[in-house]
Structure 1
Amino acid sequence: MKRSAALKDLEGRLGHRFDRPELLTRALTHGSMSGPTREDNQRLEFLGDRVLGLVMAEALLERDPDAAEGQLAPRYNALVRKETCAEVARDCAIGDAMKLGRSERLSGGRRKMALLGDAMEAVIAAVYVDAGFEVAKDMILRLWGDRVDRVEEDARDAKTALQEWAQARGLPPPSYTETGREGPDHQPVFTIEVRIRTGESDSAQAPSKRQAEQAAASALLGRLEGGA
């Protein structure tokens, strides 16, 4: 398959030259441009989300071997959430190469967070299929850069972010309930459930109530935004 100048430029920014450039083309094709002879990027997006998740889970475990699950969860969600994928996509100028239908182009689709995030995940899958996990992993860690190192700061106040999400939709603040406590007094593990008015909820465990609340808020926010 002959490469366009746009694809060559994007390959340079990604740091990967495709053996099968049609994979990159598919990863950049939004559903508004799909057809009988042109596949869109939805299946690749599904796969790329899982590849990204594994890479980030490994990276977080390696960087902090002593962290509890309740500490790792909000960091993980901050790294794989759609907003972060869209930020990385903007850094790589993926929007410039996306293939969009006329309505999406006219409505600013190249700048939309959801479309950019989906395309970034699809590109990850395209690299994975083209060259394998290690190449995809190297690209992800390179493109995410210092986000992995500063993720604790970025993920620290998930409760505020969830409250802002709810308020933006005319909902009251989320409620937090302690649903369990295990372990000795000097080393307790708290289980906290967070719930919003529309019924969606999630829960998390951590050594303190505050950490568990943050982890639960981050987990629920990740699901809400992932389904947005």
Structure 2
Amino acid sequence: MAEAQGAFEKNLAAGEVLFKEGDKGEEMYLIKSGKVEISNNAGGVKKVLAELSEGSFLGEMAIVDDAPRSAAAIALSEVSLLILDRAAFKAQLQENPMVEYLISSLVKRLRETNEQVKILLQKDDVCRVAASLLAMGREKGAPDGSGVFIKGSYTPEGLAKQVGVSIPKAKDILEKMQASSLIAFSPEGIKIPSMPDLEEYWRYATLKEKFKEI
């Protein structure tokens, strides 16, 4: 039953997935009844971020900035939702440009914070450095041939502080990554020749850390 223009209801059974991390977001949700678990994957490990109940809303970040879902949502019980799609949400925001700007800025800051937390939760130094470079490539990288270029004055020392790795260790990791043609430093910035290759390297490092005792 529609309650407002662009809004409609949806029911979920216990255990049903509402959306997955990385999905494209077209809608935001208000929980009318029931409970929903919010989680993400940090270094191959599921991390429960919150359990939301009646009156809570979720999914708003993806419809504000058009970025993929930053977390997954699954029903912990029978759930009734009120859904507002992107068009209706944007129409409301456009009535007040200042509110639209503030919300967009807050969402951008939250995404950056979430990404940094995911990086810092990884115990292995190689994983942290690779994950940080991947995040920079996605957020700041401009297309450059088959890869991306991150413009700016980046140094191993600065990246070490950013991800909580010692400077000598960060230099060693970055030198090995450059030798493997995964990245290339220049005075103008950092070139990532292939984002898929860098992501594969990060996944390899993550699995190596996860199963190192086997």
Scaled by the length of structure 2, the TM-score of the pair is: 0.32
The structure, 1 or 2, with the larger RCO (C-alpha pairs under 8 Å, 6+ apart) is: 1
- Decide which structure has greater strand share: 2
Scaled by the length of structure 1, the TM-score of the pair is: 0.30
- Decide which structure has greater helix share: 1
